[in-house]
Amino acid sequence: MDDEAKTRCAQTVKLLGEFLDRELTTCEIETVQGHLDRCPPCLKVYRFEERVRRLVRVHCASDCAPSDLREQILARLKRPSLS
């Protein structure tokens, strides 16, 4: 791999966080997408990052508030002292 290609890969990997966070501009997104289309090793890094992020989202979003918490909150804010 020549130096220029290495630099492009390094730049792409550096931007993957913002890419996945949808914080890049349309132009930057196209640059990253274009590189991922042509570079299987960078695509693998992307898939890994995306997968870790999905694991975090899925597992941490699965907890629901206890059923009585809602009632407790509503009961507390209806106490006259709070109005």
Partner 1 sequence: MPVVTVVPRQGYSQSVMTLSESPRQPRAGVPPEERESFFEREVMQHLDALYRTALRMTRNPQDAEDLVQETMLRAFRFLDRFEPGTNLRAWLFKILTNTYINRYRKASSEPRVDSLDDSDGETSLYRYLDNEAASRGGSVEAQVLDRFAEQDIKTAIEALPPQYRITVLLADVEGFSYNDIAEITNVKKGTVMSRLFRGRRLLQKALVDQARSAGFAGGKQ
Residues of this chain that bind partner 1 (CB under 8 A): 10, 13-14, 16-26, 29, 32-34, 36-37, 43-46, 48-49, 51-53, 55-57, 59-66, 69-70, 72-74, 76-78, 82
2 or 68, CB closer to partner 1? 68
8 or 16, CB closer to partner 1? 16
Q: Which residues 6+ apart lie within 8 Å of 9 measured at CB?
A: 1, 35, 39, 41, 42
Q: How far is the CB of 50 from partner 1 (least distance, A)?
A: 8
Nearest to 1 by CA among 41, 30, 43, 33: 41
